[in-house]
Amino acid sequence: MSVCGMRMGVGEALYTALPYTVLTLRSVSNAVMMAMLQSTLDSVHGVNPITLVVYQQLASASVLVALALLFDRGRRKPSLQIILWAFLIGLLQITVPELLLTASLQYITASVQSVGINTIPVVVFVLAVLVGREKFSWCSAYGQAKLWGVFTSVIGAILVVVASNSDSTSAFNGFWLGVLFVAAAVISLSASILLVERVAIEYESDLTLSAMMCSFGMIQTVIVAVIMVRDLSSWKIHTDTLELPVILFGGMLATGVFFYGQNWCIHTRGPVFGAVFTPLVVVFSFLFQILFFKSETNIKCVIGAVLVVGALYLLLWAKTRDRKEEIALIDDSGTLESSSREPLIV
């Protein structure tokens, strides 16, 4: 094999591994941000979670807009229709879930909320199959692998959450209202993931699209926050806590660069692939608690973590077959087409 061929092979392998790397790192960043956020909200200063979300969205929108202006300057400008879609996705992917999940913590524990969030892969999978955005066959081994992979990963994540909070006995009034808020947030996020893929097909500049979504989400969140938070002291950033690092790290990475990364993965690999890494956040949070906070190891948590990783591997194995068919189709036609343009129900 020539040196040029070897370089091309290495480059192709790195590009193939990039979506897996991006979504795994996004899960790591979300786990770190959750740990920092919990420490910040538990501080004696009484940090307002809504204003914290506003500052994070302001940071993420600033980063993505700057990157879009730097790297997408010569790209085709978005049409009015694309801008309106970006506004809607910003509402569904950022504003609605952020506010609903924040409000739900007044009625339920963070562990219950985590269980709800980890059902996102199941909801996305069901919606994607129903609307014809995901290949699925009941009779094939690959179809069964997808089905069991999605559900087992969610079961594993729920096991980790429940086992980690088995000693919690706190009760909240309005429990079912909190559950309703989480359910609405999950549906909103799941629908937005499918919409991202749909809009990205029409406008393939993922960075500019992500910047628009994030900017609209930030503007919407600011408007709601100004209406809900009238006390000016709640807008103060406490420099003697982790509030500023949470804003910068969460805004620039977790909800900034990796927000764009997730949207790129959804565009290139489909909505189910983009959502299925969600339970890894629970696994990484569990590992961080053991490594950095010296928490006791719970065998149920270990089993749950193994289920999540094993189920994720099973699902990705099944998705590899879709990818091979995609590449074969490209080789046969000689054109680069998105997987979402193929017949999707088999």
Q: What is the pLDDT of residue 337?
A: 45
For residue 23, being part of any structural domain is answered with: no
For residue 317, being part of any structural domain is answered with: yes
Q: What is the pLDDT of residue 168?
A: 52
Domain range for 308 is: 28-341
Q: How confident is the model at residue 324 (pLDDT cuts 50, 70, 90)?
A: low
DSSP 41: H
Q: Is the dihedral of CA 25, 142, 301, 49 positive or negative?
A: positive
Q: Does residue 338 register a pLDDT over 50? A: no
Number of domains present in the structure of the chain: 1
Q: Is 296 exposed, middle or buried (0-12, 13-18, 19+ CB in 10 A)?
A: exposed
pLDDT tens string 231-256: 888 898 888 888 899 899 989 998 89
DSSP 279: T
For residue 3, being part of any structural domain is answered with: no
The answer to whether 23 touches 261, Cβ cutoff 8 Å, is yes
Q: How confident is the model at residue 325 (pLDDT cuts 50, 70, 90)?
A: low
Model-level pTM?
0.82
Measured distance CA(269)–CA(20) in Å, rounded: 10
Q: What is the pLDDT of residue 82?
A: 96
Q: For 95-103, what is the mean pLDDT? A: 87
For residue 10, being part of any structural domain is answered with: no
Q: How far is CA 86 from CA 136, 174, 286, in A?
A: 29, 34, 34
Pair of tokens at residue 308: 């999540």
For residue 346, being part of any structural domain is answered with: no
Other beta carbons within 10 Å of 109: 18
Dihedral, 336, 341, 343, 346 alpha carbons, nearest 10:
80
Name the residue among 57, 27, 83, 82 with its Cα closest to residue 223.
57
The residue with tokens 């089993």 is 303
Q: How confident is the model at residue 62 (pLDDT cuts 50, 70, 90)?
A: very high
List the alpha helices (DSSP H) in 165-257. Answer: 175-202, 206-228, 243-249
For residue 188, being part of any structural domain is answered with: yes
Measured distance CA(197)–CA(295) in Å, rounded: 39
Measured distance CA(37)–CA(285) in Å, rounded: 12
pLDDT over 70 percentage in the chain? 83
pLDDT tens string 200-231: 999 989 999 999 999 999 999 999 999 999 88
- Give every CB contact of residue 46 below 8 A, 6+ residues apart in sequence: none
For residue 8, being part of any structural domain is answered with: no
pLDDT tens string 273-308: 999 898 888 888 878 877 776 667 678 778 888 888
For residue 9, being part of any structural domain is answered with: no
Q: What is the pLDDT of residue 144?
A: 86
Q: Is the dihedral of CA 7, 13, 16, 18 positive or negative?
A: negative
Q: Which of 18-32, 39-53, 79-93, 330-344 has the highest mean pLDDT?
A: 79-93
Q: What is the pLDDT of residue 343?
A: 35
